[in-house]
Structure 1
Amino acid sequence: MLAEAEDRFLDVRHEPDDPRGQADRTLRLRRLGKLGDMGLATEHGPGLWELSERLEPTLREMGERNDIIRTMQKALRAEGAERDPMSFAIHDAAPATPVVGRVIDKHLSDELGEELTLVVDGIDGRTHHVAGIDPVRVAEARIGSIVEIGPPDSAGRPSDRAIASIAEGGVYRPSRHLEQARFEGRVPSGDYDGFIASHVRRLEALSRAGIVERIDVDQWRIPEDFAIRAAAHDAGRGGRANVRILSTFDLDRQIGADGATWLDRRLVGGAVSDLVPAGFGEQVREAMEQRRERLIGQGDATRHQDGRVSYRRNLIATLQDREVARVGAELAAMKSVPFRAVADGEMVSGMFTGTAQLSSGKFAIVEKSHEFTLVPWRPVIERHLGREVAGVVQGGSVSWQMGRQRGLEF
C-alpha cells in the first residue's frame, strides 16, 4: 500500500471484477481499519485513505519492540521466571537512574561486536533491556551476576584512552599498538588481533562522525582533543551506560559463601527500601534472610530477644580475610609456593601473574620467588600483567606504584 499510494493517498473505492482482486481489497480494508485505530491512517471518505508519514517508522519500531519483548520473555523462561510484559523497561539509552539486578541475558547488539545488550531482572520489580553497552565493562559478568547499570561514565571509553596514548605525532598505527600489546602481554585472552581490531572498528565509527581520518591501512589521523571529542560524540548519541559488576556470584552461591558478598554489604548497610516485594526484589529479600541466618549460625551475627540482629564488628573485612586465607591455601597447594596474607599499610611487590575471582571481589595474584599473595585488583594494573608491580595496601584497596614512579591513579 505504501508503494501504491500517491502522496500518501490510497484509493480502494472500486471493487475489482476478479475474485483474487476482491479478496486483496478486503484484506487491505481490514488492514486500513486497523491502521486507522492506531492513528496511522485516516479515512477521508468511503474507500479513500491517507497513510500517515509516521506509518513505516512507527511499525518498524513496534516490530523491533516486539522482538525485544520476545527476547526478554525467552530469557525469563530460561530462568524459570514469568513477568508481566507491562513491567518491562526497554531503554533506548543509558538509564537515567541506576538499575540494580541480576543478568538473565547477554548478547551482541551489532554484527561488529562493538556493543552488547543486557537483560537485567531488577530489584525494582521490573525487567530491563539495555543496549549499547561496552563489552569490556561486562566481560566478567555471567548469567546470574549482580550488576548496576547507570548513566554514562564521563571518563570516556578505555579504548579511546588507549588510542590517544599510542598515537605519536597525531597518528595512530594499529601495527604499533599490536607490537606493544604483545610485548606487555596486556590481553589475557591472547587474542591480540581481535583486541586491535576492536580499536580499529571504534576508529571507523568515529571517522563517520568526522572525528578521525584514515590515512592508509595502518595509519589514522588523531586530533589532539581526540578523547574529549570521542566522549562528546558518545554523549550526543545518548552515551554508553556505565556498568558495575556488584557480584559475579548468583544469589545461591552468595548465601553459602565464606567471603564478603553483595548480600553481606546490604545486610550491614540495612538497605531494603529499594527492594520491591515482587520478582527479583522479593528473591533478594529471601536471600538476605537466609544469609543472615547463616551468619548467625557461624557466629558472625547475633539475634537479640527483641528480634534485632547485630553483626560482628568489621564483618566485611573479617569475611574477606577468611576467604582470602582459604583461597590462598588452595592456590599454594597448586603452586607449591607458600601463601602470605598482607596487612593493612603493608607494601606488596612482585610479579602480577593473574587474577582470582572471589565472592569478596576480584583479586590480583602477586608472586615472588619464595611466596605469593592476594591483593584487591584494580583496572589500573591490568596492562601490567606479567610484569613487576608494587603498591601499598590501604583500607581494602591498593595504591599502586611502578618502581620509583609516582602512584598510579585508578
Structure 2
Amino acid sequence: MGLATEHAPAVWELSKDMAPALRKLGERGDIIRTMQKALGPQSGERDPMSFQIHDGAPETPIVGRVVDKHLSDELGENLTVVLDGIDGWTHHIAGIAPERLEDARSGSIIEIGPAEAAARPSDRTITAIAEDGIYRPSRHLEQAKFEGRVPGGDYEGYVDAHVRRLEALRRAGIVERIDADQWRIPDDLVSRAAAYVAGRDRQSSVRVLSPVDLGKQIGSDGATWLDRRLVHGETTGLAPVGFGHQVREAMDQRREHHIERGDATRSRDGRIFYRRSLLATLREREVARVGAEMAERKALPFRAAPDGESVSGKFTGTVQLSSGKFAVVEKSHEFTLVPWRPVIDRQLGREVMGIVQGGSVSWQLGRRRGPNL
C-alpha cells in the first residue's frame, strides 16, 4: 500500500499519511458492504470492482434504479443514494439535497448528473425585466409575447421556468416573494446567485424518469420509461450485465405486451411498428382508468381534459402514475387530472387555470380571475 518503508532489518518508517489512508480504506469497506446489502440477493452476482463511489456529483449523467437512499448526516440535510446503473456499475452518490429525491422510491428509475452550471441566463433575464427592484411574471409574459422569440410559443412555460428559479433563490434567502405577481430582486442578483450555486456545486442534478420499477412497467396501461426507450429505439448505454441486462429483458417483454394488446405489430422481416401517438394513447388510458377509480372514492364525476381545452378549479393534490405526476383539479360538480409541473405546487388549495397543450399544461397563475372561477 506504500504506507511503510523498510530502511533496514526490523527498521521501518511509517508514512505520515498512514492513518487517514487506512481510515479512508475502512470507510470504503463500510460503503461497499452497504451497497451489497442494498442489492440484496443480487449482490452475490456483482463483482465488487463494479462498485463506484462518487465523492461528489458524477461527471456524466448516470441512469439506474434506486436500490437505497438514506441520510448522509445526523442533521438530515443530505441524502445518499445507491443506484444500480444501466451501465453495469453500482453507484454510491452522497450529499444530495432531500427535496431532489422526494419523488424517488426504491425501484424508481432516475438520472443523476453533474451539478448545474453556476452562470444562468435566467438570472440575467430576471434582472433585466425587474423594474425598481421588482420582478413581475405578468410583465415578463407580456414582453415575451411581444418579442415572440420563445421556441414553440410556450410563453407561459417560459415564464414559469423563471418563477421556479426564483423559488429556489427564495429558499436560499436571495430574493423575496411579495405576492403571486411580485418578487423583490437585489441589484446584485446575478453575482449572488452564481455564488450560491458555486457553494452547492457538489449537489447532483436529479431527474425521476419513472416512479415505478421495471416489473410494474411491463404490464402497465400507462406511458412508461420503457415505452419511451422503445418508441425512440434507445438501446445504447445498456450493459450486457446487471441492471442494463434487466432493462433489455424488460424492453423485450414490454414489446411483446404491446403486440398482444394490438398497440404494435411485427412484420415478416421482424421489424416492429408501434401505434401512432402510442405514448399519448397510453397516457390517456391510464388517466381514464385512475380517474374512474378516484371518482368512486370521491363520489365526484371524473372528466378527462382533451388537448387544447382550458381547465380551471381548485388544485387539491397530486397523484403519481406510470405516465408521470398529475395534478388533481376539482370543481363543485367534477374533477380532472392534468400533467403536473413544479410551478403549481405553491397553489395547493387555491383556484388555478390553465390550457392543456401537447401533454402539458400552460398554467396562467398570478392573474386576476373573474367571479365565475
Give the TM-score of the pair, scaled to structure 2: 0.80
Cα shift readout 1:136-186 (whole Å, capped 9, x = no counterpart): 011121111111110113478965432436759xxxxxxxx9xx9xxx9xx
Letter in 1 for 2:332: S
Q: Which residue is 2:145 aligned to?
A: none
Measured after TM superposition, the shift of residue 82 of structure 1 is 2.7
| Aligned counterparts of 1:80 and 1:337: Cα–Cα separation in 2 | 48
Q: 2:9 aligns with which of 36, 42, 46?
A: 46
Q: How does 1:191-340 map to 2 (within 5 A)?
A: 226-235=192-201, 239-340=202-303
Aligned counterpart, 2:146: none
**Equivalents in 2 of 1:371, 1:62: separation in Å?**
60
Say whether the 8 Å CA contact 1:161–1:227 is kept in structure 2: no
1:341 and 2:304 are equivalent in the alignment = yes
Is this contact kept in 2: 1:124–1:276, CA < 8 A?
yes
Alignment partners' CA distance in 2, 1:158 and 1:78: 42
2:313 matches 1:350: yes
The equivalent residue for 2:171 is: 162
Change (3 A) 1:79 1:44: closer
Question: Any conservation in 2 of the 1:76–1:83 contact (CA below 8 Å)?
Answer: no
8 Å Cα contact 2:325-2:339 kept in structure 1: yes
> Partner amino acid for 2:204?
A
The 1:78–1:141 alpha-carbon spacing in structure 2 relative to 1, beyond 3 Å, is: farther
1:66 is matched with which residue: 2, 14, 29?
Answer: 29
Q: Shift of residue 405 of structure 1?
A: 6.7
* Of 321, 339, 346, the match for 1:376: 339
- Three-state SS of the structure 2 residue aligned to 1:392 is strand
Q: The residue matched to 2:77 in structure 1 has which SS?
A: coil
State the identity as a percent.
Answer: 65
CA–CA distance in structure 2, aligned partners of residues 163 and 234 of structure 1 = 11
Within the alignment, does 1:114 sit opposite 2:100 as a pair? no
Structure 2 residue aligned with 1:134: 97
Deviations 1:106-152 (A, max 9, x none): 11111111111111111111111111111101112111111111011
Larger mean CA deviation between 242-251 and 225-234 belongs to 225-234
* Distance verdict in 2 for CA 1:118–1:74, change over 3 Å: same
Could you list the per-position Cα deviations for residues 199-249 of structure 1 after superposition, in whole angstroms to 9, with x for gaps in the alignment? xxxxxxxxxxxxxxxxxxxxxxxx9654332211122xxx20111111111
C-alpha distance after superposition, 1:289-321 (max 9, x if no partner): 110001000110001111111000000000000
> For this pair of structures, how many residues does the alignment match?
315
Matched to 1:367, the amino acid is E
Aligned to 1:164, the other structure's residue is in SS state coil
Kept in 1, the 8 Å contact 2:174–2:192? The answer is no
Point out the structure with max Rg over C-alpha.
Answer: 1
Q: Which has the higher contact order (CA 8 A, sep 6+)?
A: 2
> Distance in 2 between the 1:137 and 1:371 partners?
33
Is 1:56 the counterpart of 2:56 in the alignment?
Answer: no
Do 1:147 and 1:243's aligned partners in 2 also have CA atoms closer than 8 Å?
yes
Are 1:362 and 2:328 counterparts? no
Measure how far apart 1:340 and its partner are: 1.0
Equivalent residue for 1:98? 61
Structure 2 unpaired stretches of 5+: 121-164, 181-187
Read off the aligned partner of 1:231 and give its amino acid letter: V
Cα separation, 1, equivalents of 2:307 and 2:338? 11
Q: Decide whether the 8 Å contact of 2:111 with 2:208 is kept in 1.
A: yes
Distance 2:34 2:80 in 1: 11
Asked if the contact 2:114/2:204 (under 8 Å) is kept, the reply is yes
Q: Please list every run of 5 or more consecutive structure 1 residues that lacks an aligned counterpart in the other structure.
A: 1-37, 169-176, 185-222
8 Å contact from structure 2 (residues 80, 92) kept in 1: yes
Cα shift readout 1:9-60 (whole Å, capped 9, x = no counterpart): xxxxxxxxxxxxxxxxxxxxxxxxxxxxx11111212222222121111111
| 8 Å CA contact 2:71, 2:78 repeated in 1 | yes
- Candidates 33, 41, 45, aligned match of 1:82: 45
Which residue identity is paired with 2:68? D
What amino acid sits opposite 2:197 in the alignment?
A: A
Contact 1:389 1:403 (C-alpha < 8 Å) held by counterparts: no
Partner of 1:387: 350
- Once structures 1 and 2 are overlaid, which stretch shifts more, 47-56 or 319-328? 47-56
